[in-house]
Structure 1
Amino acid sequence: MSRRTGKPSYLLPTPDTRRRRVARLAVVVAAVGLAAAFVGGATGYTAGRPDGVESAVADMRKAEAQRDGQQITELTTTARRLREEISPILSAVRAAPADSRQPGPEQARQWRQTLLRAAEPFANPPSGTTATNVTRGGLRSAVEQASLAVESYLLAVTGPPAQRAALTELAKRQAAQAAAAWSVAATQLDQVNIDAGHGHQHVYLDSDSGGGAFTPDGAAEGSGG
């Protein structure tokens, strides 16, 4: 019995290889498109949300802003209290006549004690932002200058009568410089309060008139926050 054989290969129908290639190409293109869409979506999602570093930085900035705002509030409260203590002293020193009518040694010693207490809040200050640190440093310098004025005045009323006039005049100039230094710090304090959202806070001395001291800007208290 003869062996069955198929048709020679050259007589078999030719496979439609072109159609298959097109189909395979379409599958590849579709796969690439899906992959690109996935990668693009993932990239967009990743780019649209903060990474760990950005989140940490944002948290640090938020904490710093809260801490600085609290420091500014406390510093403003301290400045208001000190203003009530320092302003009358500087006014009295600047108005003192260089004769027997001027306040005596006992009054000058009381002023000295008041200013020593006024310096205590600045003895161990917290670390804050640059602007807040500058404000605090300005207030401290003003208190120190006021202390120098009182020391000069005490020398004037306890020293030789021949030196009283010169030392009294020196104390007056130092008191004027203390008032001017306070006014600069008060202006900076006003600005940091505005930046922190607290609005205008005017903590100027009553003795700020004259002597080149800054004065309040006229804005309503608490506005501009």
Structure 2
Amino acid sequence: MSVKARRKPIVSPPTAAGRFTGRVYGVLVASVVVAGLAGGALGYLVGSPSATDTAIADLHKADVVRDTQQVEELTGLAKSTAVELDKVLAELALAVPEAETTAPKPAVPEIVRGWQDAVRKVADKHAESPSGMTATNVARGGFRSAVSALAGALDTYAAVLGLPEDRRASLVGLVARQRSTAVAMWSVAATQLDQLNVDVGKGHQHAYLTSGHSDGAISVDQVPEGTE
């Protein structure tokens, strides 16, 4: 009995269309993989801050800390020196009354020199001018200018005392106007400082003068200190 040999199946070679389809599929898979990797890298780069962004953020944080500290220091200085100036203004009001209907009580030169010394010491305390944000610099300059204006008023009054009494009246009026200017300038700076404290989260802080008020001065608000 003869055994019939089994023939091996004939495998047809891939057609040109099949080879093309395979290559296209491979290219598509590779493209998807590359795109995924590129997208992930791009997302990381976009989501992560650059060295420049980090440096800018650090500078901003440092500025905030500096500005807050300067506002606190200026507030303490303004409040303490306002107390010192109020003492001088209260005594000056006796020699140069705020109301024209009140009779003046001229001060002696020794008393006036004491006022001048007190204001000079306050001026020295406000002489320092560290660099800070513009709003703080403006408030600081306002306080310094107000003290300078008050010192000028006292110098004028000291000169008035050296004149005959019949020539003093008009110049005493000049002293009153100089004092009013000084108090008004201080009130503007105090208002600026009040807002600065609110801006840095410290709430309202009042460093206003309580003596020598004139029509040109800004009055303290009625908001309790520490509230925003």
Same-fold status (TM-score > 0.5) = yes
1:165 aligned partner: 169
Q: CA 1:83–1:158 in 2, change beyond 3 Å: closer, same or farther?
A: same
2:137 aligned partner: 133
Q: Residue type of the partner of 1:154?
A: A
Q: CA 1:97–1:118 in 2, change beyond 3 Å: closer, same or farther?
A: closer
Distance across 2 between alignment mates of 1:95 and 1:186: 25
1:6 aligned partner: none
The answer on 1:24 being equivalent to 2:28 is no
How many residues are paired up? 213
- Secondary structure, aligned partner of 2:161: helix
Q: Residue type of the partner of 1:86?
A: L
Q: Which aligned segments of 4 or more residues in structure 1 are displaced greater than 4 angstroms?
A: 97-100
Distance across 1 between alignment mates of 2:176 and 2:213: 14
Distance across 1 between alignment mates of 2:182 and 2:104: 25
The answer on 1:82 being equivalent to 2:81 is yes
Written as runs of structure 1 = structure 2, the 5 A alignment for 1:81-100 is: 81-97=80-96
2:53 aligned partner: 54
Asked whether the 8 Å contact 2:190–2:207 carries over to 1, the reply is yes
The unaligned stretches of length 5 or more in structure 2 are 1-10, 98-102
The answer on 1:70 being equivalent to 2:69 is yes
**Bigger shift: 18-27 or 55-64?**
18-27
- Secondary structure, aligned partner of 2:201: coil
The unaligned stretches of length 5 or more in structure 1 are 1-11
2:224 aligned partner: 220
- TM (normalized to structure 1)? 0.88
Distance across 2 between alignment mates of 1:203 and 1:15: 93
**Bigger shift: 135-144 or 24-33?**
24-33
Distance across 2 between alignment mates of 1:198 and 1:13: 87
Spell out, residue by residue over 1:159-193, the C-alpha distance to the aligned partner (whole angstroms, 9 max, x if none).
22222212211111111111100000000001111
Asked whether the 8 Å contact 1:198–1:222 carries over to 2, the reply is yes
Asked whether the 8 Å contact 2:187–2:217 carries over to 1, the reply is yes
Q: CA RMSD in A?
A: 1.9
